[in-house]
Amino acid sequence: MKDLFIDLETSSSADLTKVGVYKYAEARDFRILLLAYSVDGGPVEIADIAHYELIPLEILRALTDRKVTKWAYNCNFERVCLSKFLGYPANTFIEPEQFKCVMTWGAYLGLPMSLEKVSEVMHLRQGKLDTGKNLIRKFCKSSSFLPMQDDPEWQMFCEYCRRDVEAEIEICEKLSPWPVPDFVWREFWDSERINDRGIAVDRQLVCNAIRLNEAVTQELTEALEKLTGLDNPNSVSQLKWWLQEQGLTVDSLGKKEVEKLLKGELSDVVRQVLLLRQRLSKSSVKKYQAMQASVNADGRVRGLFQFYGANRTGRFASKRIQLQNLPKNHMDDLDNVRRLLTAGDFKTLAARYPDVQDVLSQLVRTAFIPGIRHGNASSARKGTFPTAPTAPSELYEEEDENSDRIGNSPSKFLVADESAIEARILSYLSGERWRIRAFAEGQDIYCASASQMFHVPVEKNGQNAHLRTKGKIAELALGYGGSVGALEKMGALEMGLEESELQPIVDAWRAANPRIVKFWYDIGDAAMNAVIYRATTQSHGFRFIWEKGFLFIELLSGRRLAYYGARLGTNRFGSDCITYYGIGPSKKWERLETYGPKLVENIVQATARDVLCYAIGNLGDRLVVMHVHDEIICEADGSLSPEELCEIMGKTPPWAEGLLLKAEGDEMDYYRKT
């Protein structure tokens, strides 16, 4: 046996969509109902474990045999569930290296993440059963009554499980001409180890944040009710109607729209209502709720990262707790505010900081804390979440004095961030010399850009400092072909720039960066020629390959970006462009457009992702617990200093000789923005 294709059907009292597989499998009533399997792509068999069928000994041994590769769709689920089923100690799991993920293979080639959608796109012989979701709802809850083995619905459930394995085999067969490189599988396994390790959360702080938010929300809602007389002032439609009655017609009550309204002339009562609405609409508390829902018994949240979550570039996505948009913290007295919230001193906190929602928003990052060592795993500070709290006192319980704590104090976090990574990569790939020189000399890139644009010296807090703002907004908005609209979207007008200044800024930036502009068009032409002539072209060290409907861009790292169904099309301006299939803004599988600057953006962000993975690989077992964009968070164990972490992250990959990297980091007691 070389390959074992598997699929599981399981049941648990935990809601998988809310808590994630690690906590789902941790539930006491978790069990595996069905195991479908195929040896080396042969006939699919079913072990009806729910009806006491035994798994064949050969298969049982293969599930932990390092010589047998286990394949599954979203294999993290099967790996974690099988670890529990096979009796692995708590918070230890079958080695990631024993598994390969069919979903990841599809994502690597630009296909959807959903098995149902992949089945449609690839026209598989056996699609998913339409009744599958109903059968899962019926049989996969711990309270479900399971019918006799020969019940027609149960047999259909078995067929549903069998078909998933057949789909896995067929997908692998169809994708076999384009295998995932071994080094990408190693990156996948690194990511799985980070998911297994998890990150500790300060459960007392989380509980208190939720309690405080509930109290403040009730207070603000009551204030809105008094001002508006509405039964439900949180209802957007009701509040729009009330505003219209006050002579203010609005299309939306989104964050940006409310901010714009507050800048205009409003009556005192309307202004007060909009300010209250603004405070109530802050959603950061949802992250606290997600932490509370998915934390494991040892105080760690696991499985936060989706490998290849952005299948255009291969960048990571977050699961359950959205780590890519954590609010920034800019309070000077963060330690004191945390202490007040952790102690439950809501009265003092509210007196000192009237905008409580803003405080809670800024404290989200700080809920992630270094763990305390417990044998092979790390645990958060004391405190547990009851299953169904009925009173505030139940939200927090003292840790058992007889727990197996090893050591009395938590470790530290080491946090380091790649400085201006996309700007550095764009400069390197395009060969824009003045930018490369600026990075080599340690200059502020916003000042250097403004100086190049306006032909005068610009210093951050010195001469012509006012021009730095223009350099900054240009750097953030214009690197990938953006124009006036990109500046506006980036907030140029809110930063104090005049509308009449925007086009001159675009012109000045492009004039200052001719090699970048040329890079856009060279990349676009190379990609277009590959599609038109169904050939292989090259530009700036990248290969563009058209093969059986795919456009591949081979990166410097050797990884490929894939554009499925690539062909020549026409954009909304009537010009030729490349179109391909992907998940669009509407979250639907549809034909999308791309062009030179957009391809450059994909290439730069994909390269930044490869640099991140290279750093994670170099860190080895240095306890990476989280990464956010281009930032890495480690749990310090005494073997690594902040300086060493920065040195490792600043190491240039062998495939990018000459790329200047710089990481900046710090040691901290809880996670915060460096």
In a domain, 120, yes or no: yes
Same domain, 123 and 255: no
Domain count, the chain: 4
- Can you tell me the distance from the alpha carbon of 394 to that of 383, in angstroms, rounded to the nearest whole number? 10
Same domain, 427 and 447: no
In a domain, 532, yes or no: no
Identify whether the C-beta of residue 664 lies closer than 8 Å to the C-beta of residue 416. Answer: yes
The whole-number pLDDT of residue 131 equals 79
pLDDT averages per 10-residue partition of the chain, 674 residues? 97 95 96 98 97 96 97 98 96 97 98 93 82 88 86 95 96 97 98 96 96 91 92 89 90 85 90 89 84 96 96 94 89 93 94 90 95 44 33 34 38 94 97 96 95 94 92 94 94 87 95 98 98 96 96 98 96 91 90 96 98 95 90 90 95 97 95 86
The token duo for 40 is 């080396």
Same domain, 420 and 550: yes
Same domain, 128 and 235: no
Within 10 angstroms of residue 551's Cβ, the number of other Cβ atoms is 26
| Look-up of token digits 């170099």 | 618
Same domain, 322 and 424: no
Identify whether the C-beta of residue 414 lies closer than 8 Å to the C-beta of residue 642. Answer: yes
In a domain, 108, yes or no: yes
Same domain, 422 and 453: no
Same domain, 420 and 297: no
The token duo for 19 is 């808590």
Residue 489 structural domain? 433-512
Dihedral sign, Cα of residue 51, residue 52, residue 57, residue 61: positive
In a domain, 273, yes or no: yes
Same domain, 478 and 602: no
The whole-number pLDDT of residue 279 equals 84
Same domain, 423 and 492: no
In a domain, 190, yes or no: no
CA dihedral 19, 22, 23, 27 (to 10 degrees): 140
Same domain, 221 and 316: yes
In a domain, 488, yes or no: yes
- The reported pTM is 0.90
| Look-up of token digits 């073997």 | 639
- Can you tell me the distance from the alpha carbon of 12 to that of 110, in angstroms, rounded to the nearest whole number? 33
Could you tell me the CA-to-CA distances from 561 to 108, 557, 588, 599 in Å, in that order?
7, 11, 20, 10
Phi-psi map region of 133: left, alpha, beta (phi>0 left; psi -120 to 50 alpha): alpha
Buried b (16+ CB within 10 A) or exposed e, 33-42: bbbbbbbebe
In a domain, 529, yes or no: no
Last residue of a domain, one of 126, 154, 180: 180
Domain of 641: which CATH number? 3.30.70
Domain of 43: which CATH number? 3.30.420.10
Helix H segments across 569-667? 596-619, 642-649
The whole-number pLDDT of residue 455 equals 94
The whole-number pLDDT of residue 285 equals 85
Same domain, 362 and 449: no
The token duo for 491 is 């907030």
In a domain, 157, yes or no: yes
One-letter amino acid identity for 250? V
